[in-house]
């Protein structure tokens, strides 16, 4: 069987799985081309690569879409790299062509003199994972697809990939607020982001895609930003996002953020803490309880917290202790090319 990779995102992807794109150039997405690029070694290179693996049957003159992944070049703390988001498969035999796909990506990355390739894979543990389901600007409704985490991890390990990070998402239904010692304050998302980047006093923080480049992580409105303080001192900070996948599914749109008027009135059920930092675990828990309680009063039925690195055993234990259950984990596997 012969394969080839085409740079395109097939419509059947959207028929198969609800998705939300919330990256740079929201308005451009529907026109089929996101005009975003970067300078690399003195040359202009395009940023986004929507890659479709196609199986060719030359005798029948037919082709079949096998797999899709939305990829991009990004500047990480480890140099410029190629990021491969969760591969979505269209066929039963998911192993077929995967190696070809990855090898071609590596060839492309080598040719472009990129430092390495990172691949994001999800393992779903609960019935539903709310938006954002990815640490990048494209999120899929993971409940409607097979992520094939273990199969892909095994294949990638055999190709020399190593685990770079494993990050957990926990979810919880309404939570009682028995903690009165923390004050929550609405702030601008920018102030939380600034604190996240520049403040070293907070020992506990969420994992995010290690880049400062715009539009590669989930972004834009609606979002909620809060500082949690005790005795006038900020001890934790959060950015939360409502579940745009609910909206995307109901209205069949991949770009909910183009419709702010309707979004503003939409009764979301799910909310996710996408960025967080806290001075200690007690503060994190107290703030989360207060936060979730107050958001429950506004109508949210379930809250998730993302970005919990696997190594943060105390945080994981603490979350489980108050009733959070693992919703999914994301493994990022990496390979260095130079």
Q: In the complex, which residues of this chain contact other proteins (CB under 8 A)?
A: 6-15, 24-34, 46, 48-50, 52, 54, 61-63, 65, 188-190, 193, 214-215, 219-220, 223, 225, 239, 251-255, 257-262
Shortest Å distance, C-beta 28 to other proteins: 7
- Name the minimum Å distance from CB 7 to other proteins: 4
| Comparison of 97 and 171: residue with beta carbon closer to other proteins | 97
| Residue with smaller CB distance to other proteins, 26 or 315 | 26
Nearest to 7 by CA among 121, 76, 104, 141: 104
> For residue 179, what are its two tokens?
């903690």
CA distance 330 to 149: 9
Closer residue to other proteins (CB): 139 or 331? 139
End-to-end alpha-carbon separation of the chain, Å? 31
Give the single-character DSSP code of 50.
E
Beta carbon of residue 227, minimum distance to other proteins (angstroms, whole number): 15
Residue among 214 and 311 whose Cβ is closer to other proteins: 214
Q: Which parts of 159-236 fold into alpha helices (H)?
A: 189-198
The minimum distance between CB 66 and other proteins, in angstroms, equals 12
58: helix, coil or strand? coil
- The nearest distance, CB 11 to other proteins, in angstroms, is 4
Spell out where the chain has E strands.
2-7, 19-21, 37-40, 43-46, 48-57, 62-76, 79-84, 88-89, 116-124, 138-140, 162-172, 183-186, 204-205, 224-230, 233-242, 270-278, 302-309, 325-336
**Least spacing, CB of residue 35 vs other proteins, in Å:** 9
- Nearer to other proteins (CB atom), residue 213 or residue 280: 213
Nearer to other proteins, 14 or 164 (CB): 14
């Amino acid at each position: 069987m012969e394969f080839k990779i085409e740079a395109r995102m097939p419509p059947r992807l959207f028929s198969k799985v609800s998705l939300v794109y919330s990256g740079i150039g929201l308005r451009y997405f529907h026109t089929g081309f996101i005009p975003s690029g970067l300078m690399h070694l003195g040359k202009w290179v395009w940023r986004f690569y929507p890659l479709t693996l196609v199986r060719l049957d030359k005798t029948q003159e037919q082709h079949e879409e096998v797999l899709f992944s939305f990829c991009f070049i990004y500047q990480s703390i480890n140099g410029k790299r190629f990021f491969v988001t969760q591969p979505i498969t269209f066929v039963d035999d998911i192993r077929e062509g995967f190696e070809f796909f990855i090898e071609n990506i590596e060839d492309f990355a080598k040719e472009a003199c990129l430092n390495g390739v990172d691949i994001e894979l999800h393992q779903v543990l609960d019935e539903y994972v709310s938006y954002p389901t990815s640490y990048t600007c494209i999120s899929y409704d993971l409940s409607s697809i097979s992520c094939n985490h273990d199969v892909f991890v095994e294949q990638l390990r055999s190709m020399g990939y190593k685990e770079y990070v494993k990050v957990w998402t926990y979810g919880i239904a309404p939570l009682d607020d028995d903690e009165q010692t923390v004050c929550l304050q609405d702030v601008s998302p920018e102030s939380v982001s600034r604190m996240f980047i520049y403040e070293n006093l907070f020992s506990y923080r969420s994992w995010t895609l290690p880049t400062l480049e715009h539009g590669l992580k989930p972004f834009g409105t609606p979002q909620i930003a809060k500082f949690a303080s005790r005795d006038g001192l900020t001890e934790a900070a959060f950015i939360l996002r409502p579940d745009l996948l609910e909206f995307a599914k109901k209205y069949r749109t991949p770009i909910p953020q183009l419709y702010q008027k309707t979004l503003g009135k939409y009764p979301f059920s799910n909310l996710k803490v996408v960025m967080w930092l806290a001075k200690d675990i007690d503060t994190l828990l107290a703030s989360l309880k207060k936060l979730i309680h107050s958001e429950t009063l506004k109508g949210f039925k379930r809250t998730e917290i993302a970005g919990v690195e696997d190594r943060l055993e105390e945080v994981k234990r603490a979350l489980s202790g108050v009733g959070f259950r693992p919703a999914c984990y994301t493994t990022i596997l990496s390979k260095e090319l130079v």
